[in-house]
Amino acid sequence: MKKYVAERVFSLFLMAIAASAYWQTLALPQSRTGLVTGPAFYPRWLSILLFFCSAVPLVKSVLRPSKDAETPIVSSYWVLGKLALFFVLVAAALLLIPYSGWFLAQFLLVVALELILENRRWPRALIISGASVCVIYLIFEMGLNIRLPRGLFE
């Protein structure tokens, strides 16, 4: 994706957030005290400010594109895929935690990160994962008394 395309898409994204926030404020009740500043006043004006400030880069990219407008925002689709895979792995770990417990999910996540994203070999990936589980257990459970979920092993 080229930078000017990303610029416009992101501006539209922010403008959509602003518009949806404004729409949310329409459902809020008016001030009961008769003053203008009820619960809707402040977020409404903020959404208007966000809308117009987000529109400025969009207009600018159309009227006066920057010198690096044609450069790709991410160096290659392979890199984009790598980043997407990172999110998929972390999301999968978060979904797994209620069933497997924190430490097993963390172990599998780190193994996956090391094998797939960092291209490490099995033995080293397993050692790093085991070490990470030990460090987290020592710091959070033993040191800070924070009980992490055990999942179905409760």
Partner 1 sequence: MELFHDVGNAVLHLIFSVNIFYTILGGFIGTLAGALPGLGPSSSLALFIPMTFFLNPITGIVFLLNIYQGTMYGGRITSILANIPGDAPAIVTCFEGYPLALQGRAGPAMGISGVSSFFGGLFGLTGLALFAMPVSNFAVRFGPPEYFGLMVFALSCIGILSGDNPAKGIAMAALGLLCGTVGHDFVTGQIRMTYGLVDLVDGIDLIPLALGAFAVSELLFVLEKGMRVEFIRTRLKLSNMYPSLEEFLRCKYAIVRGALTGFLVGVLPGAGGTPATFISYAIEKKVSSHPEKFGTGQVEGLSGPEAANNASEGGALIPLLTLGVPGSGGTAILLGGLMIWGIRPGPMLFQQNPEFISYVIAGLLVGNIALLILNIGFIPIFVSLLKIIGPYFTSAITVLCLTGVYATSYNFFDAWVMLGFGGISYFARKLDYPMAPLILGLVLGPRTEDSLRQAIMMSEGSFSIFFKSPIAAVLLIVGVGIIAYPMVRYLFGLIVRQSNTRRPPAA
Binding site for partner 1 (CB under 8 A): 3, 6-7, 10, 14, 17-18, 20-21, 24-25, 28-29, 32-43, 46-47, 49-50, 53-54, 56-57, 73-75, 79, 82-83, 86-87, 90-91, 93-94, 97-98, 102, 106, 109-110, 113-114, 117-118, 128-129, 132, 136, 139-140, 144-146, 148
* Residue 65 CB, nearest approach to partner 1 (Å): 13
Minimum CB–partner distance for residue 104 and partner 1 (Å): 13
Min dist CB 154 to partner 1, Å, is 14
Within 64-149, where are the H helices?
Answer: 77-100, 102-112, 122-136
Of residues 46 and 150, the one with the C-beta less far from partner 1: 46
Identify the CA nearest to 58 among candidates 9, 3, 2.
9
CA distance 50 to 17: 9
Q: CB neighbours of 3 closer than 8 A, spacing ≥ 6?
A: 66, 68, 69, 70, 71, 72, 73
Shortest Cβ 135–partner 1 spacing (Å): 8
Instruction: Give the integer Cα–Cα distance in Å for 84 and 3.
Output: 19
